[in-house]
Structure 1
Amino acid sequence: MTTGSSTVARAGVAAFALSLMQLAPTMAGADEVTVFAAASLTNAMAEIEERFEAETGHDLTVSLAGSSALARQIQQGAPADIFISANPGWMDELENGGLLEPDSRFDLLNNSIVLIAHGTDAAPVEIGPETDLAGLLGDGRLAMALVDAVPAGIYGKASLESLGLWEDVEPQVAQADNVRAALAFVATGEAPFGIVYATDAAADDNVTIVGTFPADSHPPIIYPAADLANRDSEAENAFVDYLRGPVARAAFERQGFIVLDQ
């Protein structure tokens, strides 16, 4: 090898070493964050996951299911770092059990519940105490998330009870494990109608929103978020900050959520 070639080779090695040194802090600081999030956040969390990983170098693992199932998994020791629930009740239960980092809880989002129908040309329904929902169903079923456990089902049942409609339709309710499963029942035609969040309905072209349940017929639909008490890392703190930031806000708003001022 000539002297010139040796010089070039040494320069190349030096440049490679320098690049590794520059990357080392980022590589050393990379960490994994596991987020348990309500199934109704599926679309927004997919976008947030991709953007957060690209911008921070951290790995984000998102587990989506009904809030009740996720909360029970956390109680049983599941290795989650962040929890985003579709209602305050399950977050209350974890907080009362000492499973949240103190002062880390905040209200993130607001939503609404709607009546959906299969197809794209269903007629609108005016929802109120005089609505003949049972007659509208005929021999069909009303798809809902688990009415005593999953927030979307809890809100839906509360609204139907408030409007005096629950007793008539209860025998026709087909309960699903989570709100996305209830949405799928209607989207595939297994049930002619269902009750889901407005944001879920907007995510599927095979259903039509035919009516919105009055906001005063059910408790406010609030999504609280919190850092869980099992560990504390820079990556967790970075993700919580990201949830409060403009990129996440835009992702949530694109799916129809109302982002609450924090």
Structure 2
Amino acid sequence: MNALNILSGGAAQGLVASLAPKFKAQTGLDIAGEFGAVGAMADKLRQGMPADIVILTSAIITKLAQENWLVPASISDIGLVETAIGVRSGDPLVAVNDATGLRAALLAADAIFVPDTKASTAGIHVAKVLRQLGIADEVASRLRIFPNGATAMRHLALSDAARPIGCTQSTEIISTKGVTLSGVLPKGCDLATMYTAAVAMRAAAALQAQHLIDLLTGDDARGLRIEAGFLDVRN
């Protein structure tokens, strides 16, 4: 066995990557698997994709544990992740301090890069916010929808649109080269989602999976969590 298999929401990809060298030094294992929309990752686990560790929203982790896909005793919260606005690096930041500012920023954009609006945490929320702001129909043709937030942000970074912006988890914006965090969604439009890790019931490397969870949630990684965009649950 050369690698620990992971199924994770894209929100945790940057943090996992930052700890991968330490994990390999301590266990001899690389980290392999998939990062994507949380709903899609949960379905992959249910469909039998091999996994040792799963990192998804707390609500989905709870449901998967109830379905006997995860080891209940291993469940550990990593931290809260906010949904936010990103711009291409070098573009002016946009004002999203209140709902009015967010509405104006979205209307001014000629391309809006978002993750899956039916299977991802941030994408589902973006669709809700657009309806809430009364602009869903007006901006529908400008939406650029991708399977997950990381992919959406990579395409934002390379966009040749005049005024593109993106909306996804803050961690995905922070970890994408060529994209800058402009601000989290304002009160009334905001969303902070708890991301949680657990060992898969059918894990081939359960001890190593638990070790990675300990690294992700431990006090030594607090600075890395904050740098990656997690709001530390231990504050």
TM-score, L = length of structure 2: 0.83
Q: Which amino acid aligns with 1:223?
A: Y
Q: Which of 204, 221, 224 does residue 251 from structure 1 map onto?
A: 224
Deviation at 1:187, TM superposition (A): 0.5
Say if 1:172 and 1:64 are closer, same or farther in 2 by CA, change over 3 A.
same
In the TM superposition, what are the counterparts of 1:3-152 in structure 2 within 5 Å? 33-85=4-56, 87-130=57-100, 131-133=103-105, 135-137=107-109, 140-152=110-122
Q: Which amino acid aligns with 1:132?
A: A
Q: Which residue of structure 2 lines up, in the alignment, with residue 195 of structure 1? A: 167
Say if 1:127 and 1:161 are closer, same or farther in 2 by CA, change over 3 A.
farther
Q: Which residue of structure 2 lines up, in the alignment, with residue 230 of structure 1? A: 202
Q: Which has the larger radius of gyration?
A: 1
Q: Which residue of structure 2 lines up, in the alignment, with residue 155 of structure 1? A: 125
Q: Which amino acid aligns with 2:197?
A: A
CA contact (8 A) 1:36 1:82 kept: yes
Q: Write out per-residue CA displacement over residues 173-197 of structure 1, whole angstroms, 9 at most, x where no aligned residue.
A: 1110100111012101155111022
RMSD: 2.7
Say if 1:209 and 1:83 are closer, same or farther in 2 by CA, change over 3 A.
same
Q: Write out per-residue CA displacement over residues 56-109 of structure 1, whole angstroms, 9 at most, x where no aligned residue.
A: 344543432222222111001111011001x33432442332211123323211
SS in 2 for 1:74: helix
SS in 2 for 1:100: coil
CA contact (8 A) 1:112 1:215 kept: no
Structure 2 unmatched ranges of 5 or more? none
Q: Write out per-residue CA displacement over residues 126-152 of structure 1, whole angstroms, 9 at most, x where no aligned residue.
A: 354433345302xx2211001111112
CA contact (8 A) 2:76 2:217 kept: no
Q: Which residue of structure 2 lines up, in the alignment, with residue 178 of structure 1? A: 148
Q: Write out per-residue CA displacement over residues 216-237 of structure 1, whole angstroms, 9 at most, x where no aligned residue.
A: 4244311111111114733233
SS in 2 for 1:223: strand
SS in 2 for 1:107: strand
d(CA) in 1 for partners of 2:131, 2:223: 34
Q: Which residue of structure 1 lines up, in the alignment, with residue 213 of structure 2? A: 240
Structure 1 unmatched ranges of 5 or more? 1-29
CA contact (8 A) 1:133 1:165 kept: no
CA contact (8 A) 1:128 1:163 kept: no
Give the number of the structure with larger relative contact order, counting CA–CA contacts within 8 Å between residues 6 or more apart.
2
Aligned length, in residue pairs: 230
d(CA) in 2 for partners of 1:150, 1:54: 32
Q: Which amino acid aligns with 2:120?
A: V
d(CA) in 2 for partners of 1:175, 1:114: 16
SS in 1 for 2:74: coil
Where do 4+ consecutive residues of structure 1 move more than 6 Å? none
TM-score, L = length of structure 1: 0.75
Q: Which amino acid aligns with 2:189?
A: S
CA contact (8 A) 2:16 2:216 kept: no
Instruction: Please say if 1:214 is aligned against 2:186.
Output: yes
Q: Which amino acid aligns with 2:184?
A: T
d(CA) in 1 for partners of 2:91, 2:29: 44
